[in-house]
Amino acid sequence: VQLAGQAVCIGPARAADSYLNQDALLTVAKATGCDGVHPGYGFLSENADFADACAAAGLTFIGPSGDAIRKAGSKSAARDLMRAAGVPVTPGSDGPVASAAESVGYPVLLKASAGGGGRGIRRCDRPEDLSAAFAEAKAEAQACFGNDEMYLEKLVLRPRHIEFQVLADRYGNVIHLGDRDCSVQRRNQKLIEEAPARCLTPELRERMGAAAVKAAKAVGYENAGTVEFLLDPDREHFYFMEMNTRIQVEHGVTELVTGVDLVRQQLRIASGLALRLRQEDVTLQGHAIECRINAEDPVQGFRPCPGRVDFLHFPGGPGVRVDSCLYSGCELSPYYDSMAAKILAYAPTRMETIRRMRRCLEEFTLEGFPTNAELSYQILYHPEFILGECTTAFLDEH
């Protein structure tokens, strides 16, 4: 906001009164002469009604159409679309949840159809857990997304979380920009992401990339998006998990290894320009890692710890990128997500990148409230991480 040429207060701190208030946002956009709206990666970024409202107001929504968001955003409906398009999906519910759980076998995951960010998800290991978990997840989904539709899928134990970045224009051109490994997570929320995934062979990367392109075409996608897969421990079988119809928090690691500015591509596509990039133009060079710096205390169960930044020093130098709004003396609000910064490192090899990121975290200093930086630093020294063997169960197991 400090760097903006013009800033308008859209409401008080509660998201429902400001960043989720569609009428306020559209009124301000029209009053200030905007011709486009970039929704970022939170709040209304995956809201189909908002995309439609922007179009109705004569504003370009810098993202996919409302129709594409609906197709991909309902995770249960997206599963059906993917199955029809020949994209592998995990066994799950095509009818009542309870009968589906019996047919696919426990453990299972209950998931909010409109969910994201790890919200509205519950694991069930036994039939007797299903009823209470269903009620909890349904209530959380209604509170977070205003939609309590639930579905169920077989829980793949100790998978890797691999996602593919896609770009699509309105002329039917769709490409992918390689993969990201997002397996290091806490409570289904990513902590460390890297590109490319060390566990993928060239053949498997090609198969998964082709499936990601199929997925984007199946929903009639336009703009930047991400297709997320679970990779089985056998490293042969993968399953469609969901499609994120927006730019991702971790898009920076893809930018570093491909040299493609994804937000620039978003603006070009939204302006009606065709993709200049072809699939054969996309090459992955070197390795990139991102650590999310969250205002939270891992020792206290990742309890959010917002507050005042008394002193701040970010790392720098070749191959280092920092995305953050923090500065010494600022207040980090308790009202929104706990992520306070993203530190990215890039180098020719993965081991060099790991060493560079360790140095970055050694240099990073924030006084005023706890962060997860020390935890990330410890992970970067763990043998399992160094070998590239982390699964989504990594933090629970260690």
CA distance 103 to 149: 20
Contact call for residues 290 and 253 (beta carbons, < 8 A)? yes
Sheet with 150-154: list strands edge to edge. 121-124, 108-112, 150-154
Place of tokens 């409906």: 77
The whole-angstrom separation of Cα 379 and Cα 36 is: 40
- Please list, in sequence order, all residues whose beta carbon lies within 8 angstroms of the beta carbon of residue 195, skipping any fewer than 6 positions away: 178, 179, 180, 181, 253, 254, 256, 257, 284, 287, 288
Eight-state DSSP code of residue 232: P
Q: Which of 122, 180, 246, 292 is catalytic?
A: 246
Which residue, among 331, 330, 333, has the nearest Cα to 13 in the 3D structure? Answer: 333
Q: How far apart are CA 175 and CA 58, in angstroms?
A: 28
Tell me, yes or no, if 187 is annotated catalytic. no
* Helix or strand holding residue 373 (H, E): helix 373-379
Instruction: Determine contact, residues 244/225, Cβ cutoff 8 Å.
Output: yes
Beta strands (DSSP E) in 296-398 are: 296-297, 303-304, 311-313, 320-324, 339-347, 365-367
For residues 344 and 256, give the distance between their C-alpha atoms in angstroms, rounded to a whole number. Answer: 9
Q: Residues 61, 242, 304, CA angle at the centre, nearest 5°?
A: 80
| 3-class DSSP state of 323 | strand
The answer to whether the CB of 161 falls within 8 A of the CB of 185 is yes
The DSSP call for residue 81 is: H
The token pair that represents 99 in the structure block: 């009968």
User: CA-CA distance, 289 to 147, in Å (whole number)?
Assistant: 34
Q: Which residue in 164, 174, 233, 225 sits closest to 196, CA to CA? A: 164
CB 365 within 8 A of CB 318: no
Dist. CA 323–CA 358, nearest whole Å: 17
Supply the residues annotated as catalytic: 246
